[in-house]
């Protein structure tokens, strides 16, 4: 392995080198992996026509690097340490050798069911070890995984299955999560009934064993397909630029996009960032509380840690079950050294009161991490004081589904931290701030839109089935640069503070939700004429969802109507997209060209009605009074 950065001076040196000689820098990182054939060229890129290739013509398989490579040195070390929803249930562990065997068996089962290199396999599965195992099994044989967070509705699942024409869906029978008993497979059945004709097989893992409807034409039991398979499955030779996975994410317009990541660059970047950000040492126990349904779980529960030969914790439950001490008890029980979670969880647990953190032994902890949304100063200090004993480093990691890995962050315990700052870019990452005209803002103490001006190995390659959309969304606003959609400040020391999205994406409890998506869902209610959705500051969730809705005719029972609208959103997207507030209005503020003035709606939602600015140029200025008066 290449050396991990161990001091701030070294960071500055390595950063400088990564800018002066990016190809040399990344070649050195890549050389530490097992390649079946070395690359011819480190990088070829064109942000104008969007064509990015890393480790050109290199051949490899990411699972050989996650598994085979570790067998000699750490075959008996725990790779996955699973904590069940029920705190009294025993932990399940997989050593690197056991994981290797489980992945190979599953890979053979996928092949036996007709899955070949390039085929897409959809996952709709809770946080059980078999999710990680089957994801790796796909990668082993070159199938493309598309994990859909198991909180999405059947209709959202069906959209994603159809968009990438998945040949197989892998799911669980049921899932116990918190106090809920969730019929997972039934949601898949409902999705398939919505016309997912590409699906030939639904592979069902028996997780709880409760009875369920089984359609022997396409349904197959995991244990019947997997258990008898051989524990050896040769790793498919993949080109560095072959697709590794698709992960759907929300944008400011239209349907969610299938973000595509490829094998070689994603491997190099997730391993490199994992080791340097978290400063993981042999014997450490690393726990990222995300769900594998999101990018954080892909990169920093599965791939990054396993590539680094780490012990990675997988948690099935929720932070508040059986009570709000669950995280803290689990840290103590598993002797967790690295704890990586989201600000929304910290704020929620902070609000429950200190009785839940008190009395727990946090002495195993060395590093804390934060991801998904800006962390406010109060939460940062609480996290450091109550969990980190007043001293542990907090890595506030900024990144996106599209970036594949962490781009701006402290290196834990190595580079300086300031509450609410993501601080410095990783070596190899070249951020910049631009004004609305795309002019780069030089120097410090500036604020603008965050772009990246040079590719890094795990940059998004395309959006599945629509390359043009990818180009438009990320590379056309500021030609020649990758545009993140975030606004940021750079302070007098060159440290970055992420402000938040500057587009119509809202970040609710660390989950990205497109306002257009929620509007489309609301509009499916037969009595809705038009709607406008905005985000507003929310103490726990970071942002809440505020929906303004115009209804047909007279709504006699507004409470009932709101209930129905919420039910429609749950059905179309899932409970995570349910508006926190719904205001029924008779009109929406529009410009003379008919565009909704979202700025006004955002202000009203935030309760800032004194600073609406000039509304006289609106097509319908009279509506502003009504909206202000009726604000929730
Ligand atoms: C990893 C992940 C991406 C969006 C991104 C930001 C926001 C993420 C931070 C953050 C401030 C952070 N991927 N974001 N991390 N904002 N500080 N440390 O969350 O694709 O789901 O979301 O999340 O707005 O653009 S994501």
Q: What is the pLDDT of residue 553?
A: 85
Q: By percentage, how much of the chain surpasses pLDDT 70?
A: 100
3-state helix, strand, coil in the chain (%, to 5): 35, 25, 40
CA of 500 to the centre of ligand 1 (A): 8
253-271 per-residue burial string, b: 16 or more CB within 10 A, e: under 16:
bebbbbbbbbbbbbbbbbb
Q: Tell me which of 270, 400, 425, 506 to substitute to probe ligand 1's pocket, judged by most ligand atoms within 8 Å of the beta carbon.
A: 400
CA distance 534 to 545: 6
The mean pLDDT value for 27-44 works out to 98
C-alpha distances in Å from residue 404, one per residue of 63, 273, 281, 479: 17, 10, 23, 21
C-alpha distances in Å from residue 280, one per residue of 57, 414, 508, 556, 614: 31, 12, 30, 60, 54
Q: What is the pLDDT of residue 611?
A: 84
Beta carbon of 176 within 6 Å of any ligand 1 atom: no
Q: What is the pLDDT of residue 251?
A: 87
H-type helices in 149-286, by residue range? 154-163, 184-193, 222-226, 263-278
Q: How many CB atoms lie within 10 A of CB 391?
A: 8
Token pair in block for residue 584? 């029924």
pTM, two decimals, is: 0.97
Q: 135-156: per-residue pLDDT in tens?
A: 999 999 999 999 999 999 999 9
Containing 518, the helix (H) or strand (E) segment is helix 515-522
**Are 168 and 121 contacting, i.e. CB atoms less than 8 angstroms apart?**
yes
Task: Using the atom order of ligand 1, give the atom closest to the CA of residue 485.
Answer: 25
Q: What is the pLDDT of residue 126?
A: 98
C-alpha distances in Å from residue 76, one per residue of 111, 189, 238, 312: 28, 39, 28, 14
Q: Sorting pLDDT into bands at 50, 70 and 90, what band is 253?
A: confident
CA of 400 to the centre of ligand 1 (A): 5
CA distance 424 to 440: 18
Beta carbon of 497 within 6 Å of any ligand 1 atom: no
The mean pLDDT value for 387-394 works out to 98
CA distance 294 to 247: 8
CA of 67 to the centre of ligand 1 (A): 29
Q: 177-191: per-residue pLDDT in tens?
A: 999 999 999 999 999
CA of 74 to the centre of ligand 1 (A): 33
Q: 76-117: per-residue pLDDT in tens?
A: 999 999 999 999 999 999 999 999 999 999 999 999 999 999
Beta carbon of 400 within 6 Å of any ligand 1 atom: yes
pLDDT at 558 over 60: yes
pLDDT at 527 over 60: yes
DSSP character string of 208-235: S-------TTTEEEHHHHHTTS-S--PP
Mean of pLDDT over the chain: 97
Strands 41-46 vs 51-56: parallel, antiparallel or unpaired = antiparallel
Beta carbon of 369 within 6 Å of any ligand 1 atom: no
pLDDT at 2 over 80: no
Beta carbon of 142 within 6 Å of any ligand 1 atom: no
Q: 491-500: per-residue pLDDT in tens?
A: 999 999 999 9
**Are 320 and 287 contacting, i.e. CB atoms less than 8 angstroms apart?**
no
Q: 560-617: per-residue pLDDT in tens?
A: 999 999 999 999 999 999 999 999 999 999 998 889 999 999 999 999 988 888 888 8
Q: What is the pLDDT of residue 252?
A: 83
pLDDT at 1 over 70: no
The phi and psi torsions of 368 (rounded to 5 degrees) equal -115, 150
Strands 120-124 vs 51-56: parallel, antiparallel or unpaired = unpaired
């Amino acid at each position: 392995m290449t050396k991990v950065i161990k001091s701030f001076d070294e960071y500055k040196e390595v950063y400088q080198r990564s800018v002066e000689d990016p190809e040399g820098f990344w070649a050195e990182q890549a050389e530490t992996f097992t390649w079946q054939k070395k690359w011819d060229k480190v990088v070829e890129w064109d942000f104008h026509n969007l064509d990015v290739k890393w480790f050109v013509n290199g051949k490899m398989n990411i699972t050989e690097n996650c598994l085979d490579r570790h067998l000699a040195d750490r075959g008996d070390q725990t790779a996955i340490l699973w904590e069940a929803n029920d705190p009294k249930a025993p932990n399940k562990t997989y050593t690197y050798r056991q994981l290797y065997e489980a992945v190979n068996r599953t890979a053979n089962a996928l092949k036996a069911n007709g899955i070949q290199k390039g085929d897409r396999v959809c996952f709709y599965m809770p946080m059980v070890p078999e999710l990680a195992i089957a994801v790796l099994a796909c990668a082993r044989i070159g199938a493309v995984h598309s994990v859909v967070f198991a909180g999405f509705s059947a209709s959202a699942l069906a959209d994603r299955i159809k968009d990438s024409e998945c040949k197989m869906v892998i799911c669980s029978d049921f899932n116990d999560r918190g106090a809920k008993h969730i019929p997972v497979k039934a949601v898949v059945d409902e999705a398939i009934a919505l016309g997912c004709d590409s699906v030939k097989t639904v592979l069902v893992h028996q997780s709880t064993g409760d009875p369920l409807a089984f359609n022997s034409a396409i349904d197959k039991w995991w244990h019947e397909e997997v258990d008898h398979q051989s524990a050896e499955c040769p790793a498919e030779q993949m080109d560095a630029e072959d697709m590794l996975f698709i992960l759907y994410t929300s944008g400011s317009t239209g349907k969610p996009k299938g973000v595509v990541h490829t094998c070689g660059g994603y491997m190099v970047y997730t391993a490199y960032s994992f080791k340097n950000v978290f400063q993981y040492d042999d014997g450490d126990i690393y726990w990222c509380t995300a769900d594998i349904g999101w990018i954080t779980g892909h990169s920093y529960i599965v791939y990054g840690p396993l590539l680094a030969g780490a012990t990675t914790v997988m948690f099935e439950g929720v932070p508040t079950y059986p009570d709000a001490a669950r995280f803290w008890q689990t840290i103590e029980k598993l002797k967790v050294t690295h704890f990586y979670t989201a600000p929304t969880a910290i704020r929620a647990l902070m609000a429950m009161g200190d009785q839940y953190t008190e009395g727990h032994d946090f002495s195993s902890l060395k590093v804390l991490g934060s991801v998904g949304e800006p962390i406010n100063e109060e939460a940062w200090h609480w996290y450091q004081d109550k969990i980190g004993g007043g001293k542990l480093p907090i890595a506030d990691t900024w990144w996106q589904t599209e970036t594949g890995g962490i781009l701006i962050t402290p290196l834990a315990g190595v580079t300086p931290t300031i509450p609410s700052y993501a601080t410095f870019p990783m070596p190899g990452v070249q951020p910049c701030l631009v004004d609305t005209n795309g002019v780069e803002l030089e120097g410090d103490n500036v604020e603008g839109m965050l772009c990246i001006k040079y590719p890094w190995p795990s940059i998004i390659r395309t959006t599945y089935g629509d390359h043009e959309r990818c180009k438009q969304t990320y590379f056309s606003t500021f030609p020649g640069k990758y545009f993140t959609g975030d606004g940021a400040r750079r302070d007098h020391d060159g440290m970055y503070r992420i402000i938040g999205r500057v587009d119509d994406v809202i970040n609710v409890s660390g989950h990205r939700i497109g306002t257009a998506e929620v509007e489309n869902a609301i509009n499916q209610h037969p009595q809705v004429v038009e709607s406008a959705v905005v985000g507003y500051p929310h103490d726990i969730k970071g942002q809440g969802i505020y929906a303004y809705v115009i209804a047909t005719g007279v709504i006699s029972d507004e409470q009932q109507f709101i209930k129905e609208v919420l039910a429609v959103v749950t059905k179309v997207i899932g409970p995570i997209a349910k508006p926190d507030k719904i205001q029924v209005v008779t009109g929406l503020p529009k410009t003379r060209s008919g565009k909704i003035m979202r700025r006004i709606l955002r202000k009203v939602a935030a309760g800032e009605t004194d600073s609406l600015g000039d509304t006289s140029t609106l097509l319908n200025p009279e509506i502003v009074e009504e909206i202000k008066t009726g604000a929730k």
